[in-house]
Amino acid sequence: MGFLSIRGLEKVYPGDMVALNGLSLEIQKSERWAVIGSSGSGKSTLLRLIAGLETQDAGEVLLKGEKIKNASEKLVAGYDAIQLVRQDNGLYPHSTVAENIRRPLLQYDKDYAAERLESLLSLFGLDHKRDAYPRQLSGGEQQKVAIARALSLEPEVLLLDEPFNSLDSLQKRGLLDELDLIFRELELTLLMVTHDIQEAMLLTDRLCVVSPGGKLVAQGKIPEIHQHTQSAYVAGFFGPLNAVPGREGYYLRPMDIKVQEEAGKVTGKVLINRYFPEHDLLTVAVAKTAQPWQVVSPRRGLSRGETIQLTWEDACMLHLPQ
């Protein structure tokens, strides 16, 4: 049995819209999981059910062996031990940073509340912002306040529902690095919903992939899923796939294709060449393929319209059913 057990969760919304279809997952204490899937795969519904904020049609959630009552079974929905942070962060605009973080502690002992506030302000590097209002903070700082507030009650499980979507890439990378160190220090059990595999790899080390209709199609450590993926749907979250001509169900990742001078396995025509600091990224027309290929090329300066030779190691081909 896991620290957090999710067993056979099912949820259907009006109009026969299936959000979750028998989803089960066992999460051990201090593990950090990301949930990824296309739109309509029930990711946010899963978090609300885990938090006890919504009512499932079947299945159950257990924390340390104790059932989490859903919204129809509990007078006040939700649990202090399971905290959910949403994308909109839910900060009170007319309350300061300190007031926002301390708000869940209003009914607690004053000395404990004050001590907890100071600890979180220090942990999140927000002490110098304690008297600022949300409108005076950057997007990354606002999310830090929202997460600090969620941690004020010392929950055993933290749920993040795409809280970084509104941040630019520089803010996001810095914030994720900072949160990674904080979560490691706290040995926090984390479940984060995201559509961005980069976010998942920066903040978590385990992944579950949910298909449209809410079925769990892959779970495990991120490197294992990447290296031993069993479907094109799952592999697609890690980057583009290039269909091998004449080999139905076989694909190549962009970095596994080599550009060479001598005759290759296929000939391509450069459609687009994009510059990246580490390499060029080519979009290449290849005969007998429905979509152009994406090719990572260390060789610089290939021109649009140029004919190139492409090859690869057969061991790099992925055999992936749809």
Residue range 16-45, pLDDT digits in tens: 899 999 999 999 999 999 999 988 889 999
Determine the pLDDT at residue 172: 87
Q: Which residues contact 301 (CB under 8 A, 6 or more apart)?
A: 273, 280
- Name the strands in the sheet holding 250-252, side by side, starting at the edge strand that comes first in the sequence: 242-243, 250-252, 318-319
pLDDT at position 89: 85
Q: Which domains does the chain have, with CATH numbers?
A: 4-232 (3.40.50.300), 252-319 (2.40.50.140)
Phi, psi angle pair for 170, to nearest 5°: -70, -45
pLDDT of residue 224: 95
How far apart are the C-alpha atoms of 8 and 245, rounded to whole Å? Answer: 40
CA distance 52 to 69: 6
Count Cα neighbours of 283 within 13 Å in the Cβ-side half-sphere: 7
pTM: 0.91
CA distance 123 to 136: 20
pLDDT of the residue at 322: 67
Span 79-113, pLDDT tens digits: 999 999 998 888 999 999 999 999 999 989 999 99
Residue 239: predicted pLDDT: 93
Write out the E strands in the chain.
Answer: 4-13, 17-27, 32-37, 58-63, 66-67, 82-85, 157-161, 189-194, 206-211, 215-221, 242-243, 250-252, 258-260, 266-275, 280-286, 293-297, 307-311, 318-319
Query: ∠ CA(205), CA(211), CA(213), 5° rounding?
Result: 135
Give residue 67's pLDDT.
96
In the chain, which stretches have pLDDT less than 50? none
pLDDT of residue 257: 97
